[in-house]
Structure 1
Amino acid sequence: MKNIVYSLSILILLVVGACKKSSLITYQGQPDIYFDDATRLPTLPGDIILDSTIVSFAYSTVTDSISKIIIGVTGAKADHDRTYKLEIDPKSTAISGKHYDALPTSFTIRKNKLKDTVLLKMHRTVDLQTTESTLILNLQANENFVTSMADKVINKTTGKKYSYITYKVYINDIVKRPSGWFDTYLGVFSRKKLFLMVDVLNVQPSFFVGQPSLGILGAYGKYMQRYLNDQKAAGKTVFEDDGTEMIMGPGVQ
């Protein structure tokens, strides 16, 4: 009996010793730096993790937009600030000072933190109505962080990957015919007509995305046609960008 108790005691001491040793194991090597969006978990079924984002002004009335780009690092928190390197890829077509505000000259993971947020302010410019601009951000290794966690294969058949250290921001103001546009009441779609309706009717451009009530669309169409008629009678005929007179749909004439 004593031998059994003695053996169990030795076994317990060995297990406890092993646990104590394993608890002393800490992160070895320099921490990796990455874009947080590429490592997050899906929040809803069908949620797709991407290494890019689209900022579209198309169905909004704002002139500026601010996006939060979150940078993360692996390893333990540090008791001091750590700078990291974030650069604009020369292949970017977005222009600093025009499409977006210039980024800071230095970036820092603050002490006792594992993440940093970069605020990217973008501007609605006329050229974005026809051409999408791309801002490409690259994280690079420095004395504090490495970039060994570069990418992940998401399709083994095609070899398609997404990146942890390159992030693309697509900026546009390209307005296409919205799904809720009903020609019978609203007539031929144009960007100019859409935003004229936004101003005259005091509605949001997004109202025409989806399935708005046909009754409301009919009422809007009639109101707008009266507005256009009044403008014409006052010698202020509204023309489309192609020079043709703006009219609403045949169902409200």
Structure 2
Amino acid sequence: MNNLKKILVAVTLLICIASCKQAELEYYTANNTILFEGMDQTGNKGYVPQDTNSFSFGYVPDNIKDSLYFLSVLTTGGPQSIDRPYKIEFSKNSTLKEGIDYELLTPKFVIRSGEVRDVLIFKLLRTPEMRIAPLFLEMKLLSNENFETEMVNQIVGTGVNKKKKNFTIHHFTVDDIAGAPWFWDPKKNPSATSLMGYLGDFSAKKFQIMASRFDWDIDVVTAEKYMPAANLLVAWSKSMQVYLNEMEAMGTPVYEVDGITLMKMGKYAQ
């Protein structure tokens, strides 16, 4: 019986390996199609289009004046032995302007020999206009002599959450406006009111201090539907209040940006 179980496990494993290889083979033997590489809901690379993204300088300290944004371009059909240029068009309607609001650090749009992807690197520059309203950059991949744009749209989700996502268009937004993240915003999250019993009222300055002290991953804590675990919430709030008390005791109290209001955490952290 044990031998039979081992044989069945081995056969199952071989079937899984074969199916994975078959899927990979089908993917790499497809036509040479160019697309923006997608992400799945857990943040792993996948084939679900991610046609929009955003970044806010409002969640980082004022002394940080720039940041890098990476956008991966992927091709089907497998690697080749030559460099293959691809074509990308930047919308003239974009309000994020090159040389003013960003620098493109990728000198050429090309899939290198032996590769199936390229990475566009943008250096985002923190400008005063970003404090007024979000700025956006829209780009589109176009077909040329090396690549087609056959993979265009994909329907994602079902019912009321059903959306059409695009593989060849990417819309990126940048601002310097620090609104409360989802977990801290009572207008978006019904549980935020109880969380504020620990965290107190939201302020950009408080958020920035906490992000630095607790080494927060900004992309994680500002994500839609993110909720900190209860033990983290208690630890953050009490540790932060201890820090504020210590600063006040040393004669260097921490004030909000108005320079008058003493920063404090919620009533449960006192």
- Tell whether 2:66 aligns with 1:51: no
Question: What is the alpha-carbon distance in structure 1 between the residues aligned to residue 246 and residue 132 of structure 2?
Answer: 30
Match of 2:188 in 1: none
Match of 1:8 in 2: none
- Tell whether 2:204 aligns with 1:191: yes
Match of 2:171 in 1: 168
Deviations 1:198-251 (A, max 9, x none): 7xxx73684996414343233233334456xx479xxxxx7844xx72324497
Give the one of 213, 217, 221 matched to 2:244: 221
1:187, distance to aligned residue in structure 2 (A): 7.0
Match of 1:16 in 2: none
Q: Secondary structure of the equivalent of 1:79?
A: coil
1:85, distance to aligned residue in structure 2 (A): 0.6
Q: Is the 8 A contact 1:64 1:121 kept in 2?
A: yes
How many pairs does the alignment contain?
213
1:33, distance to aligned residue in structure 2 (A): 0.8
Aligned residue type for 1:53: N
Match of 2:85 in 1: 83
Q: Secondary structure of the equivalent of 1:58?
A: helix
1:153, distance to aligned residue in structure 2 (A): 2.2
Say if 1:155 and 1:191 are closer, same or farther in 2 by CA, change over 3 A. closer
Instruction: Tell me the TM-score normalized by structure 2.
Output: 0.60
Q: Is the 8 A contact 2:152 2:168 kept in 1?
A: yes
Question: What is the alpha-carbon distance in structure 1 between the residues aligned to residue 151 and residue 198 of structure 2?
Answer: 55
Aligned residue type for 2:123: K
Q: Secondary structure of the equivalent of 1:135?
A: strand
Q: Secondary structure of the equivalent of 1:152?
A: strand
Structure 2: segments with no counterpart, 5+ residues? 1-27, 185-191, 222-227
1:94, distance to aligned residue in structure 2 (A): 1.3
Identity of aligned residues (%): 25
Q: Secondary structure of the equivalent of 1:174?
A: coil
Deviations 1:100-155 (A, max 9, x none): 11355631111222211222222233433442222212101112111122111225
Instruction: Tell me the TM-score normalized by structure 1.
Output: 0.63
Say if 1:186 and 1:246 are closer, same or farther in 2 by CA, change over 3 A. farther
Match of 2:152 in 1: 150
Give the one of 59, 62, 65 matched to 2:67: 65
1:190, distance to aligned residue in structure 2 (A): 3.7
Say if 1:70 and 1:220 are closer, same or farther in 2 by CA, change over 3 A. same
1:53, distance to aligned residue in structure 2 (A): 2.1
Question: What is the alpha-carbon distance in structure 1 between the residues aligned to residue 83 and residue 206 of structure 2?
Answer: 53
Structure 1: segments with no counterpart, 5+ residues? 1-25, 233-237
Say if 1:103 and 1:90 are closer, same or farther in 2 by CA, change over 3 A. farther
Q: Is the 8 A contact 1:151 1:162 kept in 2?
A: yes
Q: Secondary structure of the equivalent of 2:246?
A: helix
- Tell whether 2:213 aligns with 1:203: yes
Give the one of 88, 92, 95 matched to 2:94: 92
Say if 1:157 and 1:172 are closer, same or farther in 2 by CA, change over 3 A. same
How is 1:10-29 mapped onto 2 (pairs within 5 angstroms)?
Answer: none
Give the one of 239, 243, 247 matched to 2:262: 247
Question: What is the alpha-carbon distance in structure 1 between the residues aligned to residue 50 and residue 105 of structure 2?
Answer: 22
Match of 1:12 in 2: none
Say if 1:89 and 1:212 are closer, same or farther in 2 by CA, change over 3 A. farther
Question: What is the alpha-carbon distance in structure 2 between the residues aligned to residue 138 and residue 68 of structure 1?
Answer: 16
Match of 2:17 in 1: none
Match of 1:4 in 2: none
Match of 2:140 in 1: 138
Question: What is the alpha-carbon distance in structure 1 between the residues aligned to residue 54 and residue 180 of structure 2?
Answer: 19
Say if 1:69 and 1:183 are closer, same or farther in 2 by CA, change over 3 A. closer
